[in-house]
């Protein structure tokens, strides 16, 4: 490529174009103005979405990355602009989401002088980025951005941040772009070792009661087809983690549901009865394992994982298989025997029956007078033929939606798993809709989380982002209230909320909206929302003190899962 003499700011935009970026979420400010000025000339090649807060920008970038598999890009200015990204960075870090953040910084001679809107962004973001770097000279820009995309997208993905001093944005230099494909100090993934695969296959082939646990890593590696093939060939039941949702169709005959604290009864109980556990692209989060000392002690553990630091971190693996899940699954499929486990699967179905009778039926087909979150989720899923993208917030509605929403395509569930970031749903749904404009996108939030980033209704209105927003309003911080009820003697310490008129707020933003308070209005209202061409806010007033069950109480074993209080 021929070189051309341009400014650092223009180099930022050209570098992003070289990386195939066509979407940016951001918020301008003093220290990033030169970059925004350069962006002004490239509105044909790249669309910038102005959010209402930097947190909104980074969650949107996460939502975009989650549904497309491409790194989300976000811009913010120095100081408060950059510090407002921190929650999103921490979220993307713990959930392995590729995000590239570019922040403006004060001019390099001012660094360390407490200049206006100066903060030590590289220092602050170090623990919450996979990699970060400060640019103080224009000619460093192409290489820094090339490295940023390589690091964010490969191996176990994660957020990266480049902090660019204002004088570097103004500096002129001869631009030339070279993609980064290799770094000596960074091995994105280990080549899969055939001996490890063989050892894993031997254990699987000898198993009587095997159980597959799969997570986000399956979708990151685009290994959904391989997972399905492994399950089909071996006949092994498979359970998903919260972030593994949608990697397999919900109605796959061997999908036995969700693991963890509010997961399904069968996979939790059976974890402690299986003789072999095959975990694929998941990291044994404490919300999955419950009490580690009482977790799957009887089982041999096969762990397919890309990140060496995750092997033996929580659960010791008898047969670790290090590497990319797509490659290791492919090799594993070739080494395992065709099999079936009908009796074992019947045991799961018996658990399903118990759970349905005790919990699910009254959640999704309630007879009580108040509306339940479960029936709202069921109707939203049914009315979109179980083919929509679900973006959830954090709390009761997240768990209920994860339990009852059904998926037919991968990358259809967007939620904040590891960090549990309230306020995630609304902005993440913007990114999801922009990434997948042809699919129906639901943003589901409680009254608490909705109000944490409610200002993003402004962004949704400005760009007419056709998101179907469902606010499940119980006038409580429901999950905390549930814990207070169960473990703190019903001492409802600061969890009740006096809420505004959500429909009025939506209307003030120019958005269509309606409020539902009774069952006979619900189906029609959901249908009207779906039929409406454009964004829609549906407030559903639900039972004030409903609880999410089943539940593995904190500190208890997965086999001590309870179905009712």
Q: Strand (E) positions, 179-282?
A: 210-214, 238-240, 255-258, 276-280
**Using the rule CB under 8 A, is 80 a contact of another protein?**
no
Q: Which of these ranges, 42-50, 188-196, 330-338, 361-369, lies near another protein under the rule CB under 8 A?
A: 188-196
Distance between CA atoms of residues 516 and 506, nearest Å: 14
Q: Considering the complex, what minimum distance in angstroms separates the CB of residue 189 from another protein?
A: 6
Catalytic residue among 45, 116, 126, 527: 116
Expressed in percent and rounded to 5, the helix, strand and coil fractions of the chain are 45, 20, 40
Exposure string over 361-400, b if 16+ CB within 10 A, otherwise e: ebbbebeeeebbbbbbbbbbbebbebebbbbbbbbbbbbb
Distance between CA atoms of residues 160 and 464, nearest Å: 29
Q: Of 1, 40, 114, 184, which one interacts with another protein (CB under 8 A)?
A: 184
Q: Residue 354, class by beta-carbon neighbours within 10 Å (0-12 exposed, 13-18 middle, 19+ buried)?
A: middle
Of the candidates 313, 311, 394, 416, the residue with the CA atom closest to the CA atom of residue 94:
416
Q: Of 172, 187, 292, 563, which one interacts with another protein (CB under 8 A)?
A: 187
Q: Considering the complex, what minimum distance in angstroms separates the CB of residue 194 from another protein?
A: 12
- Choose between 193 and 523: whose C-beta lies nearer to another protein: 193
- Choose between 184 and 491: whose C-beta lies nearer to another protein: 184
CB atoms < 10 A from the CB of 48, how many? 17
* 171 in Cβ contact with 137 (< 8 Å): yes
Mask 264-303, x = binds another protein (CB under 8 A)? ----------------------------------------
- Choose between 185 and 369: whose C-beta lies nearer to another protein: 185
Catalytic residue among 261, 331, 422, 479: 479
3-state secondary structure of 397: helix
- Choose between 82 and 261: whose C-beta lies nearer to another protein: 82
- Choose between 158 and 244: whose C-beta lies nearer to another protein: 158
Q: Which of these ranges, 128-136, 260-268, 287-295, 481-489, lies near another protein under the rule CB under 8 A?
A: 128-136
3-state secondary structure of 132: strand
C-alpha torsion sign, points 329, 335, 340, 344: negative
Q: Is 54 a catalytic residue?
A: yes
- Choose between 127 and 504: whose C-beta lies nearer to another protein: 127
Q: Residue 478, class by beta-carbon neighbours within 10 Å (0-12 exposed, 13-18 middle, 19+ buried)?
A: buried
**460 — phi, psi (to 5°)?**
-60, -40
DSSP sequence for 29-67: -GGGHHHHHHHGGGTTT-EEEE-SSHHHHHHHHHHHHHH
Mask 304-343, x = binds another protein (CB under 8 A)? ---xxx--xx------------------------------
Q: Of 186, 463, 483, 492, which one interacts with another protein (CB under 8 A)?
A: 186
Catalytic residue among 18, 33, 117, 528: 117
Q: Considering the complex, what minimum distance in angstroms separates the CB of residue 147 from another protein?
A: 9
Q: Of 52, 53, 70, 130, which one interacts with another protein (CB under 8 A)?
A: 130
Binding residues for another protein restricted to 105-124, rule: CB under 8 A: 122-123
3-state secondary structure of 114: coil
- Choose between 108 and 455: whose C-beta lies nearer to another protein: 108
CB atoms < 10 A from the CB of 343, how many? 9
* 46 in Cβ contact with 73 (< 8 Å): no
Q: Is 105 a catalytic residue?
A: no
- Choose between 181 and 367: whose C-beta lies nearer to another protein: 181
Distance between CA atoms of residues 527 and 504, nearest Å: 21
Q: Residue 533, class by beta-carbon neighbours within 10 Å (0-12 exposed, 13-18 middle, 19+ buried)?
A: exposed
* 263 in Cβ contact with 286 (< 8 Å): no
- Choose between 42 and 186: whose C-beta lies nearer to another protein: 186
Q: What region does 360 belong to: left with phi over 0, alpha with psi -120 to 50, or beta?
A: alpha
Q: Which of these ranges, 37-45, 81-89, 127-135, 542-550, lies near another protein under the rule CB under 8 A?
A: 127-135
Q: Considering the complex, what minimum distance in angstroms separates the CB of residue 187 from another protein?
A: 6
Q: Is 479 a catalytic residue?
A: yes
Q: Of 22, 109, 126, 225, which one interacts with another protein (CB under 8 A)?
A: 126
Binding residues for another protein restricted to 190-249, rule: CB under 8 A: 190-191
Q: Considering the complex, what minimum distance in angstroms separates the CB of residue 130 from another protein?
A: 7
CB atoms < 10 A from the CB of 330, how many? 17
Catalytic residue among 54, 118, 189, 305: 54
- Choose between 120 and 347: whose C-beta lies nearer to another protein: 120
Size of the site for another protein (CB under 8 A): 25
Catalytic residue among 66, 130, 147, 166: 166
Q: Considering the complex, what minimum distance in angstroms separates the CB of residue 113 from another protein?
A: 18
Q: Considering the complex, what minimum distance in angstroms separates the CB of residue 382 from another protein?
A: 43
Q: Which of these ranges, 41-49, 130-138, 226-234, 542-550, lies near another protein under the rule CB under 8 A?
A: 130-138
Of the candidates 487, 461, 464, 468, the residue with the CA atom closest to the CA atom of residue 539:
468
Q: Which of these ranges, 126-134, 381-389, 396-404, 481-489, lies near another protein under the rule CB under 8 A?
A: 126-134
Q: Which of these ranges, 14-22, 178-186, 279-287, 477-485, lies near another protein under the rule CB under 8 A?
A: 178-186
Q: Is 10 a catalytic residue?
A: no
Q: Considering the complex, what minimum distance in angstroms separates the CB of residue 123 from another protein?
A: 7
Enumerate the β-bridge partners of residue 6.
Answer: 173
CB within 8 Å of 480: residues ≥ 6 apart:
395, 495
Q: In the complex, which residues of this chain contact another protein (CB under 8 A)?
A: 122-123, 126-127, 130-132, 134, 151, 181-191, 307-309, 312-313
- Which residues does the annotation mark as catalytic? 54, 116-117, 166, 479
């Amino acid at each position: 490529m021929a070189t051309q003499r341009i400014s650092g700011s223009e180099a930022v935009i050209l570098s992003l174009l070289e990386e195939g970026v066509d979407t940016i979420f951001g918020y301008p400010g003093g220290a990033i103005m030169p970059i925004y000025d350069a962006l002004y000339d490239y509105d044909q090649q790249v669309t910038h979405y102005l959010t209402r807060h930097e947190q909104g920008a980074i969650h949107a970038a996460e939502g975009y990355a989650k549904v497309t598999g491409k790194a989300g890009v976000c811009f913010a200015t120095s100081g408060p602009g950059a510090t407002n990204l921190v929650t999103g960075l921490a979220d993307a870090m713990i959930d392995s989401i590729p995000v590239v953040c570019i922040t403006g910084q004060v001019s390099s001679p001012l660094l360390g002088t407490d200049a206006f809107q100066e903060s030590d962004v590289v220092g602050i973001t170090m623990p919450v980025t996979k990699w970060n770097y400060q640019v103080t000279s224009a000619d460093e820009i192409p290489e820094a951005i090339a490295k940023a995309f390589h690091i964010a997208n490969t191996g176990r993905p994660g957020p990266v941040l480049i902090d660019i001093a204002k004088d570097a944005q103004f500096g002129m230099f001869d631009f030339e772009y070279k993609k980064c494909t290799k770094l000596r100090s960074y091995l994105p993934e280990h080549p899969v070792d055939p001996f490890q695969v063989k050892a894993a296959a031997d254990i699987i082939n000898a198993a009587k009661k095997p159980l597959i646990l799969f997570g986000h890593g399956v979708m990151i590696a685009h290994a959904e087809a391989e997972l399905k093939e492994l399950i089909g060939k071996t006949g092994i039941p498979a359970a998903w983690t919260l972030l593994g949702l949608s990697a397999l169709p919900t109605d796959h005959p061997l999908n036995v549901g969700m693991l963890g604290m509010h997961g399904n009864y069968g996979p939790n109980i059976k974890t402690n009865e299986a003789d072999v556990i095959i975990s694929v692209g998941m990291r044994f989060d404490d919300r999955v394992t419950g009490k580690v000392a009482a977790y799957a002690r009887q089982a041999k553990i096969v762990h397919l994982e890309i990140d060496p630091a995750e092997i033996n971190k929580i659960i010791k693996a008898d047969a670790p298989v290090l590497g990319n899940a797509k490659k290791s699954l492919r090799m594993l499929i070739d080494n395992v025997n065709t099999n079936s486990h009908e009796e074992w699967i019947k045991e799961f179905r018996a658990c399903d029956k118990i759970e349905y009778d005790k919990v699910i039926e009254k959640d999704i087909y309630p007879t009580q007078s108040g509306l339940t979150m479960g029936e709202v989720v069921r109707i939203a899923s049914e009315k979109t033929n179980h083919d929509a993208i679900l973006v959830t917030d954090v709390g009761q509605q997240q768990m209920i939606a994860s339990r009852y929403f059904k998926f037919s395509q991968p990358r259809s569930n967007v939620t904040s798993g590891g960090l549990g970031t309230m306020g995630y749903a609304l902005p993440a749904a913007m990114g999801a809709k922009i990434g997948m404009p042809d699919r129906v996108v639901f943003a589901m939030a409680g009254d608490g989380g909705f109000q944490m980033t409610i200002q993003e209704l402004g962004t949704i209105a400005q760009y007419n982002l056709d998101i179907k927003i469902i606010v499940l309003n119980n006038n409580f911080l429901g999950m905390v209230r549930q814990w207070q009820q169960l473990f703190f003697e019903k001492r409802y310490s600061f969890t009740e909320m006096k809420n505004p008129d959500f429909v009025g707020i939506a209307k003030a933003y120019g958005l269509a909206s309606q409020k539902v308070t009774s069952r006979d209005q619900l189906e029609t209202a959901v249908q009207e929302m779906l039929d409406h061409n454009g964004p829609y806010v549906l407030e559903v007033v639900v039972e004030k003190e409903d609880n999410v069950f089943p539940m593995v109480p904190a500190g208890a074993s997965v086999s001590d899962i309870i179905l009712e209080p």
